[in-house]
Amino acid sequence: MVSPDTVRTVIGVVGNTISIILVLSPMPTFYRIWKNKSVEQFSPIPYIATAIGCIVWVLYGLPIVHPHSILIITTSGSGLVIELFYVILFILYSQGKKRLQVFTTLVASIVVLGVLAVLIIMLVHTHEHQSMILGILGGTLNIISYGSPLFVMKMVIQTKSVEYMPFYLSMAIFFNTVCWTAYGLIIFDPYITIPNGVGVIFATAQLLLHAIYYKSTQRQIEARRKEEQMVLGKVVLMADSGPIVGTQL
């Protein structure tokens, strides 16, 4: 008979794979940002929150805090590198005040988190209490990260468009949270089970919005494309006509 530890390890490996897919899922969005040299209406909140959450889970998985958690360290460490890359792109292609906001939010979050981590490790001397504090903090940040795409829900409903709530991110969050919820349930770990369970609910809501507004989004994108083509056609026509030069006596 397969032991719970073996099943948990297998699910953890699958969860690691899905987590990497999750952090890579916004690549089409960032290709668009890089190509257009603009962040448009995309929000940096999901990527900052996820980066900070990854830092917390790396700390949570350290042997001096929570032994035998190598799967948590590997997935969170990889996610941290990728999410920081996304945030750097946001900083590069944001303008003025928004660029400063993204930069200061990231730096302030890292500084606060660093001070908090040092205090926890120095002042809290048992694995159990360190795990509890970092687990609660990491779980809270996970919930913020998983729910952050919902911050644009008002805009989605008003515009009837999910263009700025990336589908692949929502789908990856759903599968990731389902997997890690199962991982946390096998040998019950509330700090993994609860935030990921909430993440399942948030991701389901996001996917429902995509299902509801997919067609209207495509119609809006197509209408905008046709309008841009018409404007471009008029510009080309005017350029081909050449300037009209004349004199009147």
Q: Give residue-wise pLDDT tens across range 50-60.
A: 788 888 888 87
* pLDDT, tens digit (0-9, with 9 covering 90-100), for 101-139: 888 888 888 888 888 878 877 777 777 777 788 778 877
Instruction: Report the chain's mean pLDDT, rounded to a whole number.
Output: 79
Whether 74 shows a pLDDT value over 70: the answer reads yes
Q: Which of 143, 27, 141, 22 is nearest to 86 (CA)?
A: 27
Instruction: Enter the pTM of the model.
Output: 0.63
pLDDT at 79: 85
Residue 94 backbone zone (phi > 0: left; psi -120 to 50: alpha; other: beta): beta
Alpha-carbon dihedral sign for residues 117, 121, 124, 126: positive
pLDDT greater than 50 at residue 90 = yes
| Ramachandran sector of residue 40 (left: φ over 0; alpha: ψ -120 to 50; beta: rest) | left
Residues 3-37 pLDDT 10s: 777 777 777 777 778 777 777 878 888 888 888 88
Residue of higher predicted confidence among 205 and 234 = 205
